[in-house]
């Protein structure tokens, strides 16, 4: 096995690492786009319908709504987006040419299940992160935990589904250097929306909906819907941040 200079190897791998983090297109299916739009409309409608219940009893509403939201996300992912490890090609076969199978159908369900479990496993870490950013520490524990579970299903679940556990694309997503697509747009929208949702809480308005964590959840859902559909379509393929490696190229 030939020796490789670590410096040379690092320089040669930079374009490869960048190329390994492409934008994720919708699958080549007549259902992909309608399902993508319908899933956002369904989430918005479900949230609007349950908003009064969320204000009255946040814990019960978040707890009963979590499996429904997870199911909506799972159907959307399996019908609209390619699972991690499948081909990203969106080209249609030529007339008379047989469509090649990339194994997407076989991978979709197990990948959806595993990705959901991975996202939910990160819920305690999100809980700690929210506490560090000012969430109640000794009180409202179930409120914060369920809020984090919803954020995980909205923002992290789709990223795991299309990116897998590869640290390179995951680092690009967390570092806000990944190209915009529906999963990264949804991730960024959820994070920014939840952060902005904290703004009304300390204001002296004395409104029932200002209690923890109603506005955080509202911001997360609005941010996810806007981010996945707006950033993921209008700005598809563009990047928020420019890394030093991109400037050199």
Structurally, the chain folds into a number of domains equal to: 1
The gap from C-alpha 2 to its chain's centroid, in whole angstroms, comes to: 41
Q: What is the DSSP letter of 199?
A: T
Residue 144 resides in a domain = yes
Which residue range is the domain that position 121 belongs to?
27-84+104-241
pLDDT in tens, 206-218: 788 888 999 999 9
Residue 200 resides in a domain = yes
For residues 235 and 243, give the distance between their C-alpha atoms in angstroms, rounded to a whole number: 18
Residue 12 resides in a domain = no
pLDDT in tens, 105-120: 778 999 999 999 999 9
Question: Taking 70 as the threshold, does the pLDDT of residue 84 lie above it?
Answer: yes
Residue 6 resides in a domain = no
Residue 96 resides in a domain = no
pTM: 0.84
Express as a percent the part of the chain with pLDDT over 70: 81
For residues 49 and 45, give the distance between their C-alpha atoms in angstroms, rounded to a whole number: 6
pLDDT, the chain, mean: 85
Residue 247 resides in a domain = no
């Amino acid at each position: 096995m030939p020796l490789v200079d670590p410096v040379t190897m690092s320089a040669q791998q930079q374009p490869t690492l960048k190329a390994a983090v492409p934008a994720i297109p919708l699958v080549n299916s007549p259902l992909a786009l309608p399902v993508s739009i319908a899933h956002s409309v369904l989430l918005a409608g479900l949230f609007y319908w349950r908003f009064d219940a969320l204000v009255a009893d946040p814990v019960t509403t978040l707890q009963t709504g979590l499996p429904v939201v997870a199911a909506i996300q799972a159907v959307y992912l399996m019908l609209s987006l390619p699972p991690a490890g499948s081909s990203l090609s969106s080209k249609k076969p030529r007339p008379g040419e047989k469509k090649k199978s990339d194994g997407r159908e076989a991978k979709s369900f197990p990948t959806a299940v595993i990705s959901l479990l991975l996202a939910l496993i990160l819920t305690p870490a999100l809980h700690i992160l929210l506490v560090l950013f000012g969430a109640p520490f000794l009180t409202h524990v179930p409120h914060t935990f369920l809020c984090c579970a919803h954020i995980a299903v909205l923002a992290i679940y789709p990223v795991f589904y299309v990116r897998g556990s590869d640290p390179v694309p995951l680092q690009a997503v967390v570092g806000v250097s990944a190209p915009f697509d529906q999963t990264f747009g949804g991730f960024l929208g959820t994070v920014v929306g939840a952060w902005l949702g904290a703004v009304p809480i300390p204001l002296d308005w004395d409104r029932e909906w200002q209690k923890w964590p109603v506005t955080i959840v509202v911001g997360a859902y609005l941010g996810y819907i806007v981010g996945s559909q707006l950033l993921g379509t209008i700005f598809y393929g563009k990047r928020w941040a420019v890394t030093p490696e991109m400037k050199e190229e």
